[in-house]
Chain A
Amino acid sequence: MDIELIEIRDFLASHPPFDALPEDVLATLPKRLTVRYLRRGSKFPPEDEKTPALYILRRGAIELRDRSGELIGKLAEGDTAPSACDDRRIQRGIQGTTSEDSLIYLLPCEVLGKLRAEYPDFAAHFDQSVSERLRSAIDSVTERGPIAGTSLMTVRVRDLIGENLVSAAPETSIEQAARIMSEARCSSLIIMDNDRLRGLLTVRDLRDRCLAAGLSPQRPVSEIMTQTLHTTAADTLGFQALLTMSRLNVHHLPVMRDGQVVGVISTSDLVRFQSANSVYLVGDIHKAEDLKTLVATARKIPELQIHLVASGATADQVGQAITAVTDAINLRLIELAERDLGPPPFPYCWMVGGSQARREQSAHSDQDNALLLAQAPTPEQDAYFQQLAAKVTNGLNDCGFVHCPGDVMASNPQWRQPLSTWRNYFEDWIERPQPQALLNASVFFDLRALHDPEHLFESLQREILRKTSENRIFIAHMAANAIKHRPPLGFFRNFVLIRGGEHDHTFDLKLRGTVPIIDMARVHALSAGIPDVNSLERLQMVAGSAALSRDGAANLVDALEFIGTLRVRHQANQLRAGEDADNFLSPDSLSPLERGHMKDAFALIASLQETLGQRYQAGRFS
C-alpha cells in the first residue's frame, strides 16, 4: 500500500460519514477513487459517467435544482451528493450545475455497499433514522455534555479570557506600558520578547515598584515586571485556576496553549464570572432602588449568555436563565412604578407574550406585553395605567428589551383592556380567523401572567383554550402559518442559503430553524387545550396524542434543542467578539459533523411540517 495518498485519506477522515471508519480501512480508500474535474457551469452529475457511484465533492461548489429549475440545495467541500447507489432515479432527478470549478471523487457503489455492510457507524449515516443521529448530536454541541447551571467547577479558563492579548516588549518604558494598559483597560500586561513570554506587569507593580519606589517612569518595564511566572493552561478548570492563585497569592496568571501565551486570567475575571450567574443577577435586581441600577444589571445579560454557553448549557437552560432575569427586571419595574404612582385603582394583570412568555429569551430579545384590567377604567383610572405601562415599557427598553416593533405593548391602549374586551378579541381571532390578523395576534397565543395578585388571568386563559381546542378552522389557519417558514433544506438534504446582501451565504437559524418548531408546538398545544407556553413543555404534553406521536414529539424536542443550542452558541461567540448578536449562521462555521446533524434536524422539521399540513389540511388556507 502506498502511503503517499495520505492527503486524500486525511480529507476523507475529516468528513462524515468517512470519519466513522477505522484507520486501516480509510487508508485503502483513496485507491478505490476515481477523480473528475468539472468546469464551472458544467452539468452535474456528468453525463458521460455511466457507472453509479457516490460523489464526494473535494473542491468547488455544486448547485442542485429540481426538475422545474428551482434551487434545492448546494454541495460544499466535503459534502456527498445523494447516493445514486441506493436508487438510480435519485441521480437522474438531479439537475445540478457546478457553480465553481470542481474536483470530485467517485467511490464505486460496490465499495460503498461493502463498507456499509461491514461498518455500522458508517452505514448509520445512510440508513440510521434521523432522530437517532440528532439525539447523539445534542451532547456534542453542548460541548461538555449537559450540565445544569454554570459554575467555576465546569467553566474552562479559555472561556473566561478575552480574545485580544495585550503585550509589550521588555524595553518599553514604564510610562508607555502604563498607557497601553490604560488604553486597553486591563489590569495587567504581558511582556513578550518576540514570541517568548518574558514577564508580567500588573497595576500593583506600577504602584509598588515604580511610583512608591520613586523609580523614573522612563526606565524600561523589564526592571519592574515579575519575571518568575506561574502560568496556567487554557483547558484548566476555573476553580483550579482560582486555587492556584490563592495558593501563590497572585491575582494574575498568564494562560498558555501549545506553548504560546494566549491571555491573562485575573481574579476579577473569575469573580465577574461568578457574578454573571443568573442567581446573583436576580438578587441584585430585587435590591435595585432605581432604573440606573437595573440598567447596569441588565448589561450583564450578554455576559450571562456567554458564560452559560461556555459551561455547556443547552438552549433551554439559557432561555430559562435569561427569562428569569428579564422577569425579575420586569417585576421590579412594576414595583417601582407602583411605588411612584401609588397603588392601582383596581386589580390588574401584567401579561407577557412571545419569547418571554415561553421562557425562551436570549440576549437582545424585544418586549411583548399587555394589561388585563379587572374592570373597564374611567378616563382618570386609565391615565394611571397609562403612566404605569409607560414607566415599565420604557424601563424595559432602557434595559435592552427594546420596544416591540409591532407595538404589542401595555403602553398601547389597544392592549390595555378589561377582561370583556380581551374576550372579544380572542373570540374574533378564533372564530373569524383572518390570516394577516392572526399573524400579528400569534404573540397572544403565547401568553403568561407575570404580575397577577388577584388571579385575573386564569379565567381568560381557560376560555381561550376551550375555544381553540374546539375550533378546527382556527387550528387549520394556525397550522397554515406554522408551515409557512420551511427549513433551509433542499430536496437532497442540502442547505439553501441566503444569497447576496448583508447575510450572504448564511441561513436564519431563528426564522427557518427554531420558529417553525415553536409554531408547530403552539398549534398542537392550542389544539389540545394545553395551558403550557414553553415549547419543550408543550411538545412533551402533546406527545403521544393523535396529532403528534411520541417519536415525532421527541424528535421535535431534540431538533429544537440542537438548533437552539447552535443559535445561543453562535450568539455567544458574537457577543464575546464584541458584536451584536444575530441569527445568521454560515454553514462554513459548522464542523462537517455538525453540518450533517443540522441537515438532519432540518429534514426532520420539514417532514413534521408535512404531517401537520396534511393533518389540518393547512394547504387550503395558505
Chain B
Amino acid sequence: MDLITVSGPPSSGKTSILLRTIEHFKQRGLHVGVVKFDCLFTDDDVYFAKLDIPVKKGLSGSLCPDHYFVSNIEEVVEWGNNQNLDILITESAGLCNRCSPYIKDIKAVCVIDNLSGINTPKKIGPMLKSADIVVITKGDIVSQAEREVFTMKVQSVNPKAIIMHVNGLSGQGAYELSTLIYDKDKHVATLEGEQLRYPMPSALCSYCLGETRIGKKHQVGNVRKIKLGDS
C-alpha cells in the first residue's frame, strides 16, 4: 500500500480534488481508502463514502490537528493495510500554520487556492515549504496574471516542489495528478521509526494542557510573552 499525505488550509479544495483524483484511480481498478483529520467538525467523510471507498475520520478536538495526526498515523496505516488498500490517502486541514503532517519518504501534497491572497504562501510555513507536490486550485475564477503571480510566490517558498494546477470542480488536471502521486512499487507496511519532515513546536504550554484561567500564576511550561514595548 502506498501512503499519500494531503494537507492544506481550510476550504482550499482538498476534498474536491481528491474526489476527482480518486475517480481516476478507481477507473484503473485501484483500491483507495481515505482518512480525514480535522479539528472540530467535518462531513468530508460523507463525500468520500459516496465514491464507495473505505473512509474514516478523526477529530482532534482540543489538540493541534497535526499533533493529533502524528499520534495516530501508525494505527491508520495499520487500518489501511488491513483493508488491503493499494493507496491510502490522509487529508488534514492545516489549521496550525506552524506544523505539518508530512513524514520523510512519504509523498506530501499541499493544496492551496488562488483566492487566498499572494501573501498566503509565505504565511503557511512548513505545510507548504516541505511538500513534494503543491496543487493550486480555483484557477478557473482568477485571471491568468494572478495565477502566474501566485505560482511564483508558491515557487519562492518551495522551489523544489512540482506545482500542479487542478480544478476541483471540473477535475481538469486531476488525471495528471493521479499519475504523479501514486507509486505502485511503494509499500508502506509500518511507519514505526519514521520521522516527521519538520519538527513540531518543541513544547506545550498550560493552555495546550487544558488550562482556562488567565494570568501569570496559572501559566506553566513554555510561555512566550508578546513584545509590546513602551510606546
A in complex with B: no
B residues contacting A by CB (< 8 A) are: none
A residues contacting B by CB (< 8 A) are: none
